[in-house]
Amino acid sequence: MGEPYEAIVEVAEEEGRDLIVMGVRGKRLAYKLFIGSTTARVIGFSSVDVLAVPEKAPIRWERFLVATDGSDYSRKAVAKAIDLAHSSGGTLKVVSVLEISPHIYAVAPEIIEEKIKLPKSYVEEVKEQAAARGILAEGFVQEAEAADEVIIELAREKNMDMIVMGSHGRTGLSKLLMGSVAERVISLAPCPVLVVKS
């Protein structure tokens, strides 16, 4: 009885589960339908990792794509992605996107040259961490208006089995993942997305 997301989160915590697996509605439905869905609420309130699986997408543990922006949340996702690639004998790709307006290209292209150094350093750091565990990671750095589009397209192009992303812990409904890169990736990804919470 009650709200499904509350029951799911409560049972996962009471039972000491490591992972909640949830479905994501078909891509033909509007992205806005993801907002307020049970899956979105579970991601917002859960203290454990959530695997969001699109309709008809297989769950495989071989080719991982991890997105990083250098934040503590993405560092946790990186650690999880490296662990998964190591334990499964899988491969790892890492992407960092410099979100930048096309207006900046026209007005001050030299700013991009300076700002792109940071995403490059994030990717290099992940590649070094992966190498220390015996994993050869391939890195991608790109400038774009929207990071989610780059992540989704890369996952599609490289036929990734899973995207691994960080989340801001328990966000609740008011700050769910609203308008965030993670939210857009989850709702439109061609493969399952592991949202790392713990």
Angle in degrees, 0-180, between the axes of helices 181-188 and 147-157, rounded to the nearest 10? 40
Strands 91-99 and 137-144: parallel
Domain that holds residue 142: 4-196
Question: What are the structure tokens assigned to 193, written together?
Answer: 């997305």
> Which residues make Cβ contacts (< 8 Å) with residue 21, sequence separation at least 6?
50, 51, 53, 59
Q: Tell me what percent of the residues of the chain surpass a pLDDT of 90.
A: 57
- Please give the single-letter amino acid code of residue 96: S
Mean pLDDT, rounded, for 79-93: 97
CA distance 115 to 47: 33
Domains held by the chain: number: 1
- Write the pLDDT tens digit of every residue in 137-161: 999 999 888 899 999 999 999 999 9
- Write the pLDDT tens digit of every residue in 108-130: 667 777 788 999 999 999 999 99
Global pTM value: 0.88
Residue 51 CA to its chain's centroid (Å): 10
Instruction: Give the domain CATH number at 99.
Output: 3.40.50.12370
